[in-house]
């Protein structure tokens, strides 16, 4: 898993079987998952001179991402509240 010397992106990883790229942004402990990302895009992020600029130009508006909550990451399910 690459770590970056970036003011925007701390680290990233890629799962080839699902084509999911996961990004940890600076100042945020919860990662964001970006499904259906080609491996060439992940490679480009890793090679970019500026990961933040690459993200803005090649990922942000092209691949919908979603924040992974700590509960899901830990394998726990959130409690549903029953009406009172």
- pTM above 0.85? no
Tokens of 59: 């990922």
The position carrying tokens 């925007």 is 8
Tens-of-pLDDT digits for all 84 residues of the chain?
789 999 999 999 999 999 999 999 999 889 999 999 999 999 999 999 999 999 999 999 999 999 997 655 455 554 444 444
Domain positions in the chain: 9-70
Tokens of 82: 């029953």
DSSP string of 4-67, one letter each residue = ---SSEEEEEEETTTTEEEEEETT-SS-EEE-S--HHHHHHHHH-S-HHHHHHHHTTTTS--EE
């Amino acid at each position: 898993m690459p770590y970056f010397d970036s003011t925007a992106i701390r680290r990233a990883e890629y799962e080839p079987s699902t084509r999911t790229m996961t990004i940890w942004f600076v100042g945020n402990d919860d990662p964001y998952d970006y499904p259906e990302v080609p491996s060439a895009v992940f490679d480009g992020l890793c090679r970019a001179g500026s990961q933040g600029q690459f993200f803005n130009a090649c990922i942000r508006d092209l691949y919908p991402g979603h924040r992974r909550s700590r509960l899901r990451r830990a394998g726990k399910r959130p409690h549903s509240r029953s009406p009172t």
